[in-house]
Structure 1
Amino acid sequence: MTHPQHDLTTTPITADLLRGALDLERTGHGLLPHRLPAWARAQNTDPQLAMAEAQPSGVRLVLRTRATVVELDTLPTKRSYAGAPPRPDGVYDLVVDGHLAGQAVAHGGNTLTIDMATGTADHRPGPVATVRFTGLSDQDKDVEIWLPHNETTELVSLRTDAAVAPVPDRGRKVWLHHGSSISHGSDAASPSTTWPAIAAARAGVELVNLGLGGSALLDPFAARSIRDTPADLISLKIGINLVNTDLMRMRAFTPAVHGFLDTVREGHPTTPLLVVSPILCPIHEDTPGPTTFDLAALATGQLRFTATGDPAERAAGKLTLTAIREELSRIVRQRSAADPNLRHLDGRELYGEADSAELPLPDQLHPDAATHRRMGERFAELGLGSAG
């Protein structure tokens, strides 16, 4: 661990220095950002969602400062899967006046080893780590530290060699996005290069990312969290996790979508609201879930997924991506007569057949870093730009 220099001043980490979190929990070490409020977490019993919402995708420290050195002490929790290849350390992105200016990783921290075969997890405590950025200009500037999108991160201490102040309101619109692990940032290169972060940067909006890995399941508490969060633009990416988990049939899906939209509209009656259907995922286009690990690939050290449902069961209401896209389009058409600010975007416009041929999903489920960039650039235009 790097020890603070004598000429560095510690600044308390407070809510006005953080963006993208819906709640901050005081822990024995510092502050733990959450992407769901405490009351919503209390209604959840799923360990997957508990892990996902505590991973700070889109959460960043935002400072106005002349500092040339910035140090941040954190306590990360790094996860791994028994029998799978090691996961890389989470990346911290330093963005200065809107441009990526540095990257770092936090060595140390806690480790969580998950055994998918037994459903157990082994948690081992570790030391606080320090990330350090140096060589910044001594001019007034906006400094953002984007926290690792896939690594639970407790914020312990912030040190700089010049005073720090909250960044003033620039009048930028707030875009709130809810989706699956793809929106969360699975397999993106870094937290500021997930597709929602790229789209937000290109469109000049402030991101609140409620992409929750494995957990975009039309939960009522998620809808109420969105309802209660200030936003100028809202998008909801619905579908893939419902197939992954084989959670519901079409009979439950349709009213659940209506109910989710009704709840969001209670807090945002006229806010532009975009419903986005799933991107192309060949294994689930016409084959229902559940999705499982490909054990043959895992035996060779590769992490891949496979669909285990029976395509014939679609007739009985089992969900596939094709069925979900058709129904979401129909629901939005039906509702938009009375809700002119409600729109639909077919996810295959972000990643479709031609993209799949050029940039196939490496694990059959999640896009790689290049695909995140492509999706972000497209969404900036189709969802947030002149076409949105």
Structure 2
Amino acid sequence: MHPASARPDPAGPPASGPAPRKGSEGWNLGSIAGVPVVLARSWVVIAVVITLLFAPTVARTAPELGGPGAVVVALSYALVLALSVLVHEVAHALTARAVGLPPTRIVLTLWGGHTTFASEASTPGRSFVISAVGPASNAVLAGLGALLVLLVPFGGLAWLLLTALTLANLFVAVFNLLPGLPLDGGRMLEAGVWKATGDRLRATVVAAQAGRVLAVLAVLVLLGVPVLRGGSPSLLFVAWAALVAGTLWTGASAVLKDARLRTRVAALRAEELLVRAVGVPADVVVAHVARSADAAGAQEVVLLAPDGRPVALVDRDAVTRVPQERWPWVQASSVARPLRGAPLRRDAAGQELVHGLAAAGGHPEAVTGAEVAAVVDGAGHVVGVLRGSDVVAAARARP
């Protein structure tokens, strides 16, 4: 699978650390080149499916292994597939780091894996290279495995394992080159459309829709081949086809949903969503705050540091709890809450607006709705306040 951009993650234990420990996502396996590696719990499902699928074949090919031995060898196929996916994701991670995109985590999942980054590739060329290197690494391993298969006795345990290594990497390489998201081939298609049109969001939508088409084709092909051969697919094979198609459809749909949300976000403007505010010195009393708001016709009041920086927002509910006769003596700072991060410009829009607001909330990966940021004009004067809840509501309301 292609790497995905995500929130920054803390570093895991070193590769030489203690035994894998179970976390919220799964089991932390340590790290490779400083990148934490996690084995998701869902991987157990694919391991069971592969073992059940290949144990009969192994038993027929090497009857001397016996039933338990065939199961162990079939299970090793799942381990070889996991190793192939890990090589694939490490190739993504190291290439991304080389082009200035630091990886934060590698996760091995039910169907493949993914690598997360702190940000996205800034150009279609970088995105294409990061995507292509994963399948390329598996193609190289498949070639090496094929050469080694020729050097060992046919039908033995070494032959079985090397054959599994070759086929697993060939499968991972070819499957991931299919042109639809969330596969690497989909990212490569996205990069090509992005380069041709200059519109990344449109490119993402095209590649995601292609991923949905692939999901439908996967069902038709996987279930249609046994029928064309005059037989019928087994229940286990039907489950396998559903797993493949479901993973493709779900991944493509998630990317498509995200692209549509980004399209809505791109239309957001701070000046359209802000609540009018006025800035006053931080050392004033509540009475001064009330007079300033009335004089400016503002709904909110922002307290300013001596250098003019917005530092706090007066809490209107807290003001109402102060008896009015005490307003001339109560400091406004005692009924205000701090503002984090830098203020937003009045002309901030799209992702710039979202990133600035998220940083003001102290969690730069997303807007949750609880954020508040001051908004300033070109001269740095406070003109309003922007709330995360208003931004989220506006994004959801746009068609």
Range of TM-score over shorter length: under 0.3
Structure with greater Cα Rg: 2
TM normalised by structure 1 equals 0.23
Q: Which has the higher strand share?
A: 1
TM normalised by structure 2 equals 0.23
